[in-house]
Structure 1
Amino acid sequence: MPREKIVAALKIRDRSSPHYLKSECIVYLIRETRANNDERYFDELFRELMRRIDASLPRVVGERANGSENVHAAAARDHITGKFIGNLVEDRSSPGSWLDYYEVMFADAIAGLRTTYMYRARRDSARNEPIAADDETNEPSLAVERAVGSFDIKKELLSEDPIYRSRLIAAIRNLPDKHRRVIELTMTEMPIDSSDDSVMTIRKMIGVKSEKTVRNRRDEAHRMLREALSIGDHND
Protein backbone atom coordinates (compact mmCIF):
# COMPACT_ATOMS: atom_id res chain seq x y z
CA MET A 1 0.00 0.00 0.00
CA PRO A 2 1.19 3.56 -0.64
CA ARG A 3 2.13 5.36 2.55
CA GLU A 4 -0.70 7.86 2.29
CA LYS A 5 -3.19 4.99 2.31
CA ILE A 6 -1.46 3.41 5.29
CA VAL A 7 -1.66 6.71 7.20
CA ALA A 8 -5.36 6.95 6.31
CA ALA A 9 -5.94 3.37 7.47
CA LEU A 10 -4.42 4.24 10.86
CA LYS A 11 -7.49 6.38 11.55
CA ILE A 12 -9.86 3.41 11.17
CA ARG A 13 -11.04 2.24 14.60
CA ASP A 14 -13.54 -0.39 13.46
CA ARG A 15 -11.77 -3.72 13.74
CA SER A 16 -14.30 -5.38 11.45
CA SER A 17 -13.30 -3.06 8.59
CA PRO A 18 -11.26 -4.76 5.84
CA HIS A 19 -8.98 -1.70 5.93
CA TYR A 20 -8.28 -1.88 9.67
CA LEU A 21 -4.54 -2.25 10.35
CA LYS A 22 -3.75 -4.78 13.03
CA SER A 23 -1.29 -3.71 15.69
CA GLU A 24 1.16 -6.40 14.58
CA CYS A 25 1.17 -4.77 11.14
CA ILE A 26 1.94 -1.37 12.63
CA VAL A 27 4.86 -2.82 14.60
CA TYR A 28 6.20 -4.36 11.37
CA LEU A 29 5.79 -1.08 9.47
CA ILE A 30 7.42 1.07 12.15
CA ARG A 31 10.39 -1.31 12.31
CA GLU A 32 10.75 -0.98 8.53
CA THR A 33 11.17 2.82 8.86
CA ARG A 34 14.77 2.19 9.89
CA ALA A 35 15.60 2.29 6.20
CA ASN A 36 14.22 5.79 5.51
CA ASN A 37 14.09 9.29 6.96
CA ASP A 38 10.38 10.01 6.56
CA GLU A 39 9.75 11.48 10.03
CA ARG A 40 6.10 12.28 9.33
CA TYR A 41 5.36 8.68 8.40
CA PHE A 42 7.19 7.38 11.49
CA ASP A 43 5.33 9.87 13.71
CA GLU A 44 1.93 8.72 12.38
CA LEU A 45 2.76 5.05 13.01
CA PHE A 46 4.24 5.80 16.42
CA ARG A 47 1.28 7.93 17.53
CA GLU A 48 -1.26 5.23 16.66
CA LEU A 49 0.82 2.45 18.18
CA MET A 50 1.17 4.36 21.46
CA ARG A 51 -2.58 5.07 21.44
CA ARG A 52 -3.27 1.35 21.23
CA ILE A 53 -0.77 0.57 23.97
CA ASP A 54 -2.34 3.24 26.17
CA ALA A 55 -5.78 1.72 25.62
CA SER A 56 -4.44 -1.65 26.82
CA LEU A 57 -2.82 -0.40 30.02
CA PRO A 58 -4.21 -0.57 33.57
CA ARG A 59 -6.75 2.17 34.18
CA VAL A 60 -6.08 5.04 36.58
CA VAL A 61 -9.44 6.14 38.00
CA GLY A 62 -9.45 9.91 38.35
CA GLU A 63 -6.44 12.18 38.44
CA ARG A 64 -6.68 12.67 42.23
CA ALA A 65 -7.40 9.10 43.15
CA ASN A 66 -4.71 7.74 45.44
CA GLY A 67 -5.79 4.21 46.38
CA SER A 68 -3.02 1.64 46.40
CA GLU A 69 -4.24 -0.15 43.26
CA ASN A 70 -4.52 3.20 41.49
CA VAL A 71 -0.95 4.06 42.43
CA HIS A 72 0.16 0.62 41.22
CA ALA A 73 -1.67 1.13 37.92
CA ALA A 74 -0.04 4.51 37.37
CA ALA A 75 3.41 3.07 38.06
CA ALA A 76 2.76 0.11 35.75
CA ARG A 77 1.58 2.41 32.94
CA ASP A 78 4.77 4.46 33.13
CA HIS A 79 7.01 1.38 33.17
CA ILE A 80 5.22 -0.38 30.30
CA THR A 81 5.30 2.71 28.10
CA GLY A 82 8.95 3.30 28.88
CA LYS A 83 9.74 -0.36 28.30
CA PHE A 84 8.20 -0.41 24.85
CA ILE A 85 9.76 2.88 23.79
CA GLY A 86 13.14 1.66 25.03
CA ASN A 87 12.79 -1.53 23.00
CA LEU A 88 11.77 0.48 19.94
CA VAL A 89 14.79 2.80 20.26
CA GLU A 90 17.09 -0.21 20.67
CA ASP A 91 15.52 -1.94 17.66
CA ARG A 92 16.01 1.13 15.47
CA SER A 93 19.65 1.62 16.48
CA SER A 94 20.64 -2.04 16.58
CA PRO A 95 18.06 -4.40 15.05
CA GLY A 96 17.49 -7.46 17.20
CA SER A 97 14.69 -9.57 18.60
CA TRP A 98 13.29 -7.20 21.25
CA LEU A 99 10.13 -6.40 19.25
CA ASP A 100 9.60 -9.78 17.57
CA TYR A 101 6.89 -10.90 19.98
CA TYR A 102 4.97 -7.63 19.53
CA GLU A 103 5.06 -8.20 15.78
CA VAL A 104 3.55 -11.66 16.15
CA MET A 105 1.19 -11.38 19.14
CA PHE A 106 0.88 -7.72 20.11
CA ALA A 107 -2.01 -8.00 22.57
CA ASP A 108 -0.40 -10.95 24.33
CA ALA A 109 2.93 -9.13 24.62
CA ILE A 110 1.27 -6.07 26.19
CA ALA A 111 -0.79 -8.29 28.49
CA GLY A 112 2.42 -9.96 29.67
CA LEU A 113 3.97 -6.58 30.46
CA ARG A 114 0.80 -5.49 32.24
CA THR A 115 0.87 -8.56 34.49
CA THR A 116 4.59 -8.19 35.17
CA TYR A 117 4.60 -4.50 36.00
CA MET A 118 1.47 -4.56 38.14
CA TYR A 119 3.19 -7.34 40.09
CA ARG A 120 6.36 -5.26 40.36
CA ALA A 121 4.45 -2.15 41.43
CA ARG A 122 2.88 -4.10 44.30
CA ARG A 123 6.27 -5.61 45.16
CA ASP A 124 7.98 -2.22 45.21
CA SER A 125 5.23 -0.90 47.44
CA ALA A 126 5.86 -3.79 49.84
CA ARG A 127 9.51 -2.75 50.12
CA ASN A 128 8.42 0.12 52.33
CA GLU A 129 7.06 -2.31 54.89
CA PRO A 130 9.16 -3.26 57.98
CA ILE A 131 11.60 -6.10 57.35
CA ALA A 132 10.16 -9.27 58.82
CA ALA A 133 10.90 -12.97 58.92
CA ASP A 134 8.51 -15.71 57.95
CA ASP A 135 6.62 -16.91 61.04
CA GLU A 136 7.20 -20.58 60.25
CA THR A 137 10.72 -20.70 58.78
CA ASN A 138 12.22 -17.59 60.43
CA GLU A 139 13.75 -16.76 57.02
CA PRO A 140 13.48 -13.32 55.38
CA SER A 141 10.10 -12.70 53.81
CA LEU A 142 9.68 -13.18 50.06
CA ALA A 143 9.20 -9.41 49.63
CA VAL A 144 12.57 -8.76 51.27
CA GLU A 145 14.36 -11.41 49.21
CA ARG A 146 12.98 -9.87 46.03
CA ALA A 147 14.19 -6.43 47.05
CA VAL A 148 17.89 -7.32 47.28
CA GLY A 149 20.62 -8.53 44.96
CA SER A 150 18.96 -7.45 41.71
CA PHE A 151 20.97 -7.35 38.50
CA ASP A 152 19.14 -5.74 35.59
CA ILE A 153 20.59 -7.69 32.67
CA LYS A 154 18.47 -5.98 30.01
CA LYS A 155 19.68 -2.59 31.25
CA GLU A 156 23.26 -3.84 31.25
CA LEU A 157 22.82 -4.98 27.63
CA LEU A 158 22.08 -1.35 26.72
CA SER A 159 25.52 -0.27 27.93
CA GLU A 160 27.29 2.13 25.59
CA ASP A 161 30.46 0.04 25.93
CA PRO A 162 30.38 -2.58 23.12
CA ILE A 163 33.17 -4.61 24.75
CA TYR A 164 31.20 -4.84 28.00
CA ARG A 165 28.05 -5.88 26.09
CA SER A 166 29.99 -8.61 24.27
CA ARG A 167 31.43 -9.89 27.55
CA LEU A 168 27.97 -9.99 29.13
CA ILE A 169 26.46 -11.88 26.18
CA ALA A 170 29.33 -14.38 26.29
CA ALA A 171 28.91 -14.77 30.06
CA ILE A 172 25.21 -15.52 29.66
CA ARG A 173 25.93 -18.12 26.97
CA ASN A 174 28.48 -19.80 29.24
CA LEU A 175 26.07 -20.23 32.15
CA PRO A 176 25.03 -23.79 33.03
CA ASP A 177 21.88 -24.71 31.10
CA LYS A 178 19.51 -24.57 34.07
CA HIS A 179 20.76 -21.11 35.06
CA ARG A 180 20.87 -19.74 31.52
CA ARG A 181 17.28 -20.87 30.90
CA VAL A 182 16.05 -18.92 33.92
CA ILE A 183 17.91 -15.80 32.77
CA GLU A 184 16.57 -16.08 29.23
CA LEU A 185 12.99 -16.41 30.50
CA THR A 186 13.48 -13.55 32.95
CA MET A 187 14.53 -11.33 30.06
CA THR A 188 11.20 -12.00 28.31
CA GLU A 189 9.43 -10.32 31.28
CA MET A 190 7.69 -13.60 32.15
CA PRO A 191 6.69 -13.68 35.84
CA ILE A 192 8.48 -16.16 38.09
CA ASP A 193 5.19 -17.49 39.46
CA SER A 194 1.54 -16.52 39.70
CA SER A 195 -1.52 -17.42 41.73
CA ASP A 196 -3.44 -17.39 38.43
CA ASP A 197 -3.15 -20.86 36.89
CA SER A 198 -3.83 -19.44 33.42
CA VAL A 199 -0.66 -17.30 33.50
CA MET A 200 2.46 -18.89 32.04
CA THR A 201 5.36 -18.56 34.47
CA ILE A 202 9.05 -19.38 34.62
CA ARG A 203 8.38 -21.97 37.31
CA LYS A 204 6.03 -23.82 34.95
CA MET A 205 8.33 -23.45 31.95
CA ILE A 206 11.32 -25.05 33.66
CA GLY A 207 9.20 -27.66 35.45
CA VAL A 208 10.00 -27.05 39.12
CA LYS A 209 7.62 -27.14 42.07
CA SER A 210 8.82 -24.14 44.04
CA GLU A 211 9.15 -20.46 43.17
CA LYS A 212 12.14 -20.42 45.52
CA THR A 213 13.98 -22.83 43.18
CA VAL A 214 13.59 -20.33 40.34
CA ARG A 215 14.78 -17.45 42.50
CA ASN A 216 17.77 -19.43 43.75
CA ARG A 217 18.83 -20.26 40.18
CA ARG A 218 18.34 -16.65 39.13
CA ASP A 219 20.39 -15.32 42.06
CA GLU A 220 23.13 -17.88 41.45
CA ALA A 221 23.20 -16.92 37.76
CA HIS A 222 23.51 -13.25 38.74
CA ARG A 223 26.42 -14.16 41.06
CA MET A 224 28.18 -16.04 38.24
CA LEU A 225 27.63 -13.15 35.82
CA ARG A 226 29.00 -10.62 38.31
CA GLU A 227 32.02 -12.83 38.82
CA ALA A 228 32.56 -13.22 35.07
CA LEU A 229 32.31 -9.45 34.63
CA SER A 230 34.32 -8.64 37.77
CA ILE A 231 31.44 -6.70 39.35
CA GLY A 232 31.40 -6.32 43.13
CA ASP A 233 32.70 -8.59 45.86
CA HIS A 234 31.98 -12.25 45.08
CA ASN A 235 33.16 -13.60 48.42
CA ASP A 236 30.13 -12.36 50.38
Structure 2
Amino acid sequence: MDHFVDLLLSDREEYDDRLDYYEINFNSAIARDRKDASARHWKHENRSEQLGNDEEETPHALDAIDASYDPFDQHELNQKIYRALLDEAIDGLPEFQRRIIEMLRHDIPIESKDPTVLTISKALDKSEKTIRTHRDKAFATLRARLVAKGNL
Protein backbone atom coordinates (compact mmCIF):
# COMPACT_ATOMS: atom_id res chain seq x y z
CA MET A 1 0.00 0.00 0.00
CA ASP A 2 2.85 2.37 0.83
CA HIS A 3 4.40 1.69 -2.57
CA PHE A 4 1.13 2.56 -4.29
CA VAL A 5 0.83 5.81 -2.32
CA ASP A 6 4.41 6.70 -3.28
CA LEU A 7 3.53 6.11 -6.96
CA LEU A 8 0.48 8.37 -6.68
CA LEU A 9 2.51 11.14 -5.08
CA SER A 10 5.24 10.89 -7.71
CA ASP A 11 2.58 10.91 -10.48
CA ARG A 12 1.26 14.25 -9.20
CA GLU A 13 4.67 15.83 -9.78
CA GLU A 14 5.24 14.31 -13.23
CA TYR A 15 3.68 11.58 -15.42
CA ASP A 16 4.48 8.00 -14.31
CA ASP A 17 3.44 5.29 -16.80
CA ARG A 18 3.50 2.63 -14.06
CA LEU A 19 0.10 3.90 -12.90
CA ASP A 20 -1.60 3.34 -16.29
CA TYR A 21 -2.65 -0.17 -15.24
CA TYR A 22 -4.50 1.20 -12.20
CA GLU A 23 -6.12 3.99 -14.22
CA ILE A 24 -7.46 1.54 -16.81
CA ASN A 25 -8.91 -0.74 -14.13
CA PHE A 26 -10.40 2.22 -12.28
CA ASN A 27 -12.01 3.56 -15.47
CA SER A 28 -13.51 0.17 -16.34
CA ALA A 29 -14.85 -0.18 -12.78
CA ILE A 30 -16.51 3.23 -13.06
CA ALA A 31 -18.01 2.25 -16.45
CA ARG A 32 -19.47 -0.96 -14.94
CA ASP A 33 -20.92 1.02 -12.03
CA ARG A 34 -22.52 3.49 -14.44
CA LYS A 35 -24.01 0.64 -16.47
CA ASP A 36 -25.41 -1.05 -13.33
CA ALA A 37 -26.86 2.24 -12.06
CA SER A 38 -28.40 2.94 -15.46
CA ALA A 39 -29.99 -0.53 -15.57
CA ARG A 40 -31.43 -0.11 -12.06
CA HIS A 41 -32.74 3.36 -12.94
CA TRP A 42 -34.31 2.08 -16.18
CA LYS A 43 -35.96 -0.79 -14.32
CA HIS A 44 -37.34 1.60 -11.69
CA GLU A 45 -38.55 4.08 -14.30
CA ASN A 46 -40.40 1.45 -16.33
CA ARG A 47 -42.20 -0.21 -13.42
CA SER A 48 -45.21 1.96 -13.97
CA GLU A 49 -45.93 0.45 -17.40
CA GLN A 50 -49.22 -1.36 -17.56
CA LEU A 51 -48.93 -5.13 -17.89
CA GLY A 52 -50.78 -7.05 -20.57
CA ASN A 53 -53.97 -8.93 -19.88
CA ASP A 54 -53.33 -12.61 -19.12
CA GLU A 55 -56.88 -13.53 -20.10
CA GLU A 56 -56.09 -13.01 -23.77
CA GLU A 57 -53.29 -15.59 -23.63
CA THR A 58 -55.20 -18.24 -21.64
CA PRO A 59 -56.57 -21.03 -23.81
CA HIS A 60 -60.34 -21.45 -23.48
CA ALA A 61 -59.90 -25.06 -22.35
CA LEU A 62 -58.15 -23.85 -19.19
CA ASP A 63 -60.92 -21.45 -18.15
CA ALA A 64 -63.12 -24.08 -16.53
CA ILE A 65 -60.35 -26.06 -14.79
CA ASP A 66 -61.08 -26.99 -11.19
CA ALA A 67 -58.62 -25.21 -8.85
CA SER A 68 -58.52 -28.23 -6.51
CA TYR A 69 -56.86 -30.47 -9.11
CA ASP A 70 -53.76 -32.25 -7.81
CA PRO A 71 -51.68 -34.12 -10.40
CA PHE A 72 -49.89 -35.99 -7.61
CA ASP A 73 -53.00 -37.72 -6.27
CA GLN A 74 -51.82 -41.10 -4.93
CA HIS A 75 -54.73 -42.98 -6.51
CA GLU A 76 -53.82 -41.62 -9.96
CA LEU A 77 -50.05 -42.07 -9.46
CA ASN A 78 -50.58 -45.79 -8.88
CA GLN A 79 -51.53 -46.15 -12.55
CA LYS A 80 -48.48 -46.66 -14.78
CA ILE A 81 -50.00 -45.02 -17.86
CA TYR A 82 -50.97 -41.94 -15.82
CA ARG A 83 -47.41 -41.55 -14.51
CA ALA A 84 -45.98 -41.78 -18.05
CA LEU A 85 -48.44 -39.21 -19.41
CA LEU A 86 -47.82 -36.94 -16.41
CA ASP A 87 -44.06 -37.05 -16.95
CA GLU A 88 -44.54 -36.21 -20.62
CA ALA A 89 -46.85 -33.31 -19.74
CA ILE A 90 -44.40 -31.98 -17.13
CA ASP A 91 -41.58 -32.05 -19.70
CA GLY A 92 -43.67 -29.76 -21.91
CA LEU A 93 -44.09 -27.07 -19.25
CA PRO A 94 -42.12 -23.81 -19.32
CA GLU A 95 -38.81 -24.06 -17.41
CA PHE A 96 -39.93 -22.06 -14.35
CA GLN A 97 -43.17 -24.03 -13.92
CA ARG A 98 -41.38 -27.34 -14.48
CA ARG A 99 -38.89 -26.51 -11.73
CA ILE A 100 -41.74 -25.71 -9.33
CA ILE A 101 -43.52 -28.98 -10.16
CA GLU A 102 -40.34 -31.03 -9.72
CA MET A 103 -39.72 -29.45 -6.31
CA LEU A 104 -43.29 -30.18 -5.29
CA ARG A 105 -42.75 -33.79 -6.38
CA HIS A 106 -39.83 -33.95 -3.95
CA ASP A 107 -42.03 -32.60 -1.13
CA ILE A 108 -40.25 -29.26 -0.89
CA PRO A 109 -42.70 -26.76 0.63
CA ILE A 110 -43.53 -23.48 -1.07
CA GLU A 111 -43.05 -21.49 2.14
CA SER A 112 -42.07 -22.25 5.72
CA LYS A 113 -42.00 -20.30 8.98
CA ASP A 114 -38.70 -22.02 9.84
CA PRO A 115 -35.87 -20.03 8.20
CA THR A 116 -33.61 -23.10 8.06
CA VAL A 117 -36.02 -25.11 5.87
CA LEU A 118 -35.35 -25.10 2.12
CA THR A 119 -38.43 -23.80 0.34
CA ILE A 120 -39.34 -23.33 -3.30
CA SER A 121 -39.67 -19.56 -2.89
CA LYS A 122 -36.16 -19.36 -1.39
CA ALA A 123 -34.62 -21.68 -3.98
CA LEU A 124 -36.11 -19.76 -6.91
CA ASP A 125 -35.84 -16.35 -5.21
CA LYS A 126 -39.49 -15.50 -5.87
CA SER A 127 -42.40 -14.57 -3.60
CA GLU A 128 -44.80 -17.17 -2.26
CA LYS A 129 -47.62 -15.66 -4.30
CA THR A 130 -45.60 -15.90 -7.53
CA ILE A 131 -44.79 -19.55 -6.83
CA ARG A 132 -48.45 -20.35 -6.09
CA THR A 133 -49.61 -18.57 -9.25
CA HIS A 134 -47.18 -20.49 -11.44
CA ARG A 135 -48.03 -23.73 -9.64
CA ASP A 136 -51.73 -23.19 -10.36
CA LYS A 137 -51.01 -22.40 -14.03
CA ALA A 138 -48.85 -25.52 -14.29
CA PHE A 139 -51.53 -27.67 -12.66
CA ALA A 140 -54.14 -26.29 -15.09
CA THR A 141 -51.87 -27.00 -18.05
CA LEU A 142 -51.12 -30.52 -16.82
CA ARG A 143 -54.80 -31.25 -16.32
CA ALA A 144 -55.69 -29.91 -19.77
CA ARG A 145 -52.99 -32.04 -21.39
CA LEU A 146 -54.05 -35.15 -19.51
CA VAL A 147 -57.71 -34.55 -20.42
CA ALA A 148 -56.68 -34.13 -24.06
CA LYS A 149 -54.87 -37.51 -23.90
CA GLY A 150 -58.06 -39.04 -22.51
CA ASN A 151 -56.55 -40.02 -19.17
CA LEU A 152 -58.79 -37.86 -16.94
TM-score w.r.t. structure 2 length?
0.49
- Which one has the bigger helix percentage? 2
Q: Who wins on radius of gyration, i.e. which is larger?
A: 2
